[in-house]
Amino acid sequence: MLILGIETSCDETAAAVVRDGLEIRSNVIASQVDIHSRYGGIVPEVASRQHLLTIAPIITEAMSRASAVWRDLDAIAVTCGPGLAGSLLVGVNTAKAIALCRDLPIIGVNHLEGHIYANWLEGAPPDFPALCLIVSGGHSDLLLMRGHGDYELLGRTRDDAAGEAFDKVARILELGYPGGPAIEKAALRCSSTPHLLPRAWLKGSDDFSFSGLKTAVLRLVTEPGGMNNRGSSLIDDKSEKAAIAASFQKAVVDVLVTKTVSAATRMEARHILLCGGVAANSALRDELVRRSPIPTMIPRPVLCTDNAAMIASCGYFHLTAGERSGWNLDVTPNLRLAHSA
Ligand code: KG4
Ligand code: ZN
C-alpha cells in the first residue's frame, strides 16, 4: 500500500511517500525556521501563509522523488491535530482536494501518534507493550502502548513541554531559535555541568514539570549574583553560557531518562520508544540508551523532528485496521492521544 503523507501542524511543510507503513520512498521537508527565527518564535499567521505557498511544490517533489504518479497511490494520510489551526487547515484541505480528485481514501492522523510511528520506519518493529516518551515543542507525554492504537497516558507535563523549556532557556541565554539545537551546540563547548539546577521529580507521579528549571536559569543570569568572577553578566560570557546550557540540558535529560526508565520497569514494557523533536538531542539519546535495561528505539534525528513519513506510517496502520476519515474531517488544534487509565 502506497500512502502520501502530509504534515503542516506547525512550521514545517512536509510530504512523504511511504510503502506499507515501513519503507520511506520519499520524505520532503520545507522548514520555515529562517522566516520565524527573526521573530524569536513561530508566528501562526505567517506559518499558515507559508504553508499555502509551499504545500503544492513539496507534494510534487515528494511524488517525483518517490518516482510515483497519482494512480500509484492507495491513500492519503494527513495530520489533523494537535497544532496551529491555520497551519493544520492547509494540510487537511490539500489532502481532501487530492483525495476527492483522485478518488482516494483519506485518514486524519494525530500528530503525536505520528511521532511514535517514526520508530516503525527504522527497521524491525518494536515489541508491545512499549513505553513511549514523546518530547516535542508542545508535549512531554509518557504513554504505554499495548498495541496499534491502544494507548494509556501515564504522565504528561504539568507546565512547559521539554522542547518549550529548551526554546525558552535558549531565549534567556540569547542563543537563538529554535532553542533545542542551539542549546545542544552550546553545551558541547562545556565538558562539565557546573551549575546545580533543580529537578522536579514529582515523586509517585509520571508527570513532568520544567518551568521551575527555566526560572532557575533565569535567576542565574538576572539576579545580582548572576555575574562571573570577572564581574560581567553570565550571558555576556561565551563559556559561562555554555556552562549554563550544559547544566540545563543535563537536568532535563536526567529527569526524562529517570522517569522513563522507572515507568518502563514498573509497566514491564518490552521496548522504550523515544520520539518528538527533542529526541534529536544526542545527550538524551545517549543517556537513555546507557540507562535503559530494555531495548530502546530512537528514530534518526530527521525523523524525530516534524516530518510526513511518520504521518504516512501511522495512517497505514489505521487504514489497515479498517478506519478512514469522512469528508467532514476537520482540524482539532488541541487533539489528545490518550487519557489516563
Ligand atoms: O516535534 P517537533 O519538531 O515539533 C513539535 O511537534 O513541536 O519538536 C520541536 C521541538 C522544539 O522545541 C525544538 O527546540 C526541539 O524540538 N528540538 C530539540 C532538538 N532539536 C529540536 N531539543 C533539544 N535538542 C535538539 N537537538
Ligand atoms: Zn512534532
**23-31/12-19 β-pairing:** antiparallel
Ligand having the closest approach to the CA of 310: 2
What does the alpha-carbon distance between residue 232 and residue 58 come to, in Å, rounded to a whole number? 47
Summarize the confidence of residues 278-300 as an average pLDDT: 98
Amino acid 113: pLDDT: 98
What does the alpha-carbon distance between residue 328 and residue 316 come to, in Å, rounded to a whole number? 20
276 CB within 6 A, ligand 1? yes
Is residue 229 over pLDDT 80? Answer: no
In degrees rounded to 5, what are phi and psi of residue 189? -80, -5
114 CB within 6 A, ligand 1? no
Going by CA atoms, what residue is nearest to atom 7 of ligand 1?
A: 137
Closest ligand 1 atom to the C-alpha of 306? 3
8 CB within 6 A, ligand 1? no
What residues contact 294, with CB distance under 8 A and at least 6 apart? 264, 269, 270, 271, 272
Q: What is the share, in percent, of the chain residues with pLDDT greater than 70?
A: 98
For the chain, what is the mean pLDDT? Answer: 95
What does the alpha-carbon distance between residue 201 and residue 153 come to, in Å, rounded to a whole number? 18
Summarize the confidence of residues 8-23 as an average pLDDT: 98
Amino acid 158: pLDDT: 98
How would residue 232 be classed by pLDDT, with cut points 50, 70 and 90?
low
Going by CA atoms, what residue is nearest to atom 19 of ligand 1?
A: 180
Is residue 224 over pLDDT 80? Answer: no
Closest ligand 1 atom to the C-alpha of 163? 12
305 CB within 6 A, ligand 1? yes
**Pair 278, 272: CB distance under 8 Å:** no
What does the alpha-carbon distance between residue 38 and residue 136 come to, in Å, rounded to a whole number? 21
Give tens-digit pLDDT for 145-164.
999 999 999 999 999 999 99
pTM for the model stands at 0.96
Amino acid 198: pLDDT: 95
For residue 107, what are the β-bridge partners?
77
The alpha carbon of 223 and the centre of ligand 2 are apart by a number of angstroms equal to 34
The alpha carbon of 249 and the centre of ligand 2 are apart by a number of angstroms equal to 20
280 CB within 6 A, ligand 1? yes
In degrees rounded to 5, what are phi and psi of residue 285? -60, -50
How would residue 231 be classed by pLDDT, with cut points 50, 70 and 90?
low
Name the 3-class secondary structure at 139: coil
**Within 13 Å, how many C-alpha atoms sit on residue 76's CB side?**
31
How would residue 91 be classed by pLDDT, with cut points 50, 70 and 90?
very high
Burial classification of residue 97, based on how many CB atoms lie within 10 Å of its CB (0-12 exposed, 13-18 middle, 19 or more buried): exposed
C-alpha cell of residue 156: 504528561
What residues contact 125, with CB distance under 8 A and at least 6 apart? 22, 119
137 CB within 6 A, ligand 1? yes
Would residue 218 be called left, alpha or beta, if left means φ above 0 and alpha means ψ between -120 and 50 degrees? alpha
284 CB within 6 A, ligand 1? no
Give tens-digit pLDDT for 317-335.
999 999 999 999 999 999 9
Closest ligand 1 atom to the C-alpha of 167? 14
**Pair 118, 313: CB distance under 8 Å:** yes
Going by CA atoms, what residue is nearest to atom 8 of ligand 1?
A: 277
Summarize the confidence of residues 38-60 as an average pLDDT: 95
Closest CA to 68 of 98, 88, 97, 89: 98
Name the 3-class secondary structure at 299: coil
Q: CA–CA distance from 124 to each of 132, 252, 297 (Å)?
A: 16, 29, 10
Summarize the confidence of residues 90-110 as an average pLDDT: 98
Closest ligand 1 atom to the C-alpha of 305? 3
306 CB within 6 A, ligand 1? yes
C-alpha cell of residue 236: 555576556
Side chain identity at residue 57, one-letter code? P
How would residue 301 be classed by pLDDT, with cut points 50, 70 and 90?
very high
